[in-house]
């Protein structure tokens, strides 16, 4: 058993940390207040190949796998969970094309996405359904060599950036759920204003409206009626991003609490000398370390595990544990800060609001437990 990072992984982690500390951290508050990320951050991440870490070199990716991806995501998530959210949702959408796409689809869509010139999205959720594919109301009607798409998709990350959108729709003829690649901002594609959400500001969630969107039949992803397996595997990979973003939040909680415990004084002594603060710091260290190794292992499993069901279990397990621990850690961090933690001048306040997001997106925590137990017991 070897817990060491390779030199390359260490350098990727350091490059991500350096970019996060130099360019994202100083504007973390600004991103939160303005709920948007400056374009130079996106282009900077693109120049460093951060949009293509796990994807094959032949399609413009860096070819470094999900084990490197989690290392970078942790650093971005620590500086701004909104930035990490963009990368996470992008990797979910592009991951589906990477696994299920034809050679032509991969060559067409992946290179620009890997450079960050285009940003991918994944659209399943609708106003009437969050996880149940049977309830999908968006339709795909075959007309010759084209499909005509109609419907509304809800809470879609990156819907306002140009790039490919992997979208689930019900075929009107067969009633089967199928995945399609839609080029965002094509004719008939429109979006809402970003939702005003509690945290992860800068990572935009929008509704998408499809009105007679005409796409070539070759934009069908995988096979007709193959939407659900694509959703299942895609979301499993998506949980690698959500988990590593939450790990970044744990790291931020831990770092902010340690910094404050050393800086803040009471009766001329740093508050870190008090037993209750020591307990809090130890709790944070334990939560961070346990979550870190679970997420790093999940990155490794995403690269190596062959059985989609086992991977779905591992991804759900990590996502549930780490996202819940981020909530706990952000609360402890706030406790260390006392009343100051409630103030927007302190990062603890932002981390606390961000923390709740991970446990709600891509399946709430109880849903993850259903997946984990279902695979263990062999019962749905």
Of 8, 34, 173, 307, which lies in the binding site for other proteins, with binding defined by CB under 8 A?
8
Query: Does residue 88 belong to the site contacting other proteins (CB under 8 A)?
Result: no
Nearest to 24 by CA among 94, 88, 74: 74
Of 28, 37, 49, 215, which lies in the binding site for other proteins, with binding defined by CB under 8 A?
49
- Give the residue with the Cβ less far from other proteins, 69 or 321: 69
Q: What is the DSSP letter of 64?
A: -
Angle at the Cα of 322 from the Cα atoms of 166 and 361, rounded to 5 degrees: 35
Of 24, 28, 32, 52, which lies in the binding site for other proteins, with binding defined by CB under 8 A?
52
Of 1, 7, 144, 196, which lies in the binding site for other proteins, with binding defined by CB under 8 A?
7
Query: Does residue 105 belong to the site contacting other proteins (CB under 8 A)?
Result: no
Quickly list H helices, 20-80.
Answer: 28-34, 39-47, 65-79
- Give the residue with the Cβ less far from other proteins, 49 or 320: 49
Query: What is the distance between the alpha carbons of residues 163 and 27, in angstroms, rounded to a whole number?
Result: 26
Query: What is the distance between the alpha carbons of residues 302 and 314, in angstroms, rounded to a whole number?
Result: 9
Cβ 318 to other proteins, closest distance in Å?
Answer: 23
Query: Does residue 302 belong to the site contacting other proteins (CB under 8 A)?
Result: no
**C-alpha distance from residue 36 to each of 27, 39, 225, 278, 333 (Å):** 11, 9, 37, 36, 25
Of 24, 27, 37, 48, which lies in the binding site for other proteins, with binding defined by CB under 8 A?
48
3-state DSSP assignment of residue 211: strand
362 is catalytic: yes
Query: Does residue 277 belong to the site contacting other proteins (CB under 8 A)?
Result: no
Which x/- pattern, by CB under 8 A, does the window 229-268 give for other proteins? ----------------------------------------
Cβ 297 to other proteins, closest distance in Å?
Answer: 21
- Give the residue with the Cβ less far from other proteins, 6 or 310: 6
| Dihedral sign computed on CA atoms, order 243, 249, 255, 257 | negative
Query: Does residue 18 belong to the site contacting other proteins (CB under 8 A)?
Result: yes
**C-alpha distance from residue 96 to each of 100, 184, 231, 358 (Å):** 6, 16, 8, 21
Query: Does residue 269 belong to the site contacting other proteins (CB under 8 A)?
Result: no
Q: Which one of 15-23, 168-176, 253-261, 322-330 is the stretch in contact with other proteins (CB under 8 A)? A: 15-23
DSSP line for 121-186: EEE--BTTBSS-GGG---EEEEETTEEEEEEEEEEEETTTSSSEEEEEEEETTT--EEEEEEETT-
Query: Does residue 218 belong to the site contacting other proteins (CB under 8 A)?
Result: no
- Catalytic residues, which ones? 362
Residues of this chain that bind other proteins (CB under 8 A): 7-8, 10-12, 15, 18-19, 22, 47-50, 52-53, 57, 62-64, 68, 72
């Amino acid at each position: 058993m070897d817990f060491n990072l390779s030199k390359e992984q260490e350098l990727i982690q350091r490059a991500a940390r350096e970019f996060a500390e130099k360019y994202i951290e100083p504007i973390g508050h600004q991103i939160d207040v303005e709920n948007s990320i400056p374009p130079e951050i996106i282009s900077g991440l693109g120049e460093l190949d951060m949009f293509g870490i796990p994807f094959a070199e032949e399609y413009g990716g860096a070819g470094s796998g999900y084990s490197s991806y989690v290392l970078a995501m942790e650093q971005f998530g620590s500086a701004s969970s909104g930035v990490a959210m963009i990368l996470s949702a992008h990797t979910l959408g592009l991951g589906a094309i990477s696994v299920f796409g034809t050679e032509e689809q991969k060559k067409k869509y992946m290179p620009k996405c890997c450079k960050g010139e285009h940003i991918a999205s994944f659209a399943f959720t609708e106003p009437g359904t969050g996880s149940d594919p049977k309830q999908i109301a968006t339709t795909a009607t075959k007309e010759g060599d084209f499909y005509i798409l109609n419907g509304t998709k809800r809470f879609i990350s990156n819907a306002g950036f140009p790039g490919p959108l992997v979208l689930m729709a019900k075929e009107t003829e067969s009633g089967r759920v199928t995945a399609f690649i839609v080029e965002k901002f094509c004719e008939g594609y429109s979006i809402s204003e970003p939702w005003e959400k509690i945290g992860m500001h800068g990572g935009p969630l929008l509704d998408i409206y499809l009105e007679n969107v005409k796409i070539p039949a070759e934009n069908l992803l995988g096979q007709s009626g193959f939407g659900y397996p694509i959703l299942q595997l895609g979301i499993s990979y998506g949980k690698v991003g959500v988990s590593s973003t939450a790990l970044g939040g744990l790291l931020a909680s831990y770092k902010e609490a340690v910094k404050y415990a050393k800086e803040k004084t009471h009766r001329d002594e740093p508050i870190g000398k008090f037993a209750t603060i020591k307990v809090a710091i130890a709790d944070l260290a334990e939560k961070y370390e346990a979550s870190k190794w679970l997420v790093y292992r999940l990155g490794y499993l995403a690269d190596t595990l062959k059985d989609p069901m086992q991977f779905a279990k591992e991804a759900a397990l990590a996502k549930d544990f780490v996202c819940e621990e981020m909530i706990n850690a952000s609360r402890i961090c706030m406790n260390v800060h006392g009343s100051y933690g409630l103030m927007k001048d302190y990062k603890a306040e932002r981390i606390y609001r961000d923390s709740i997001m991970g446990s709600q997106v891509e399946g709430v925590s109880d849903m993850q437990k259903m997946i984990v137990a279902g695979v263990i017991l062999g019962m749905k």
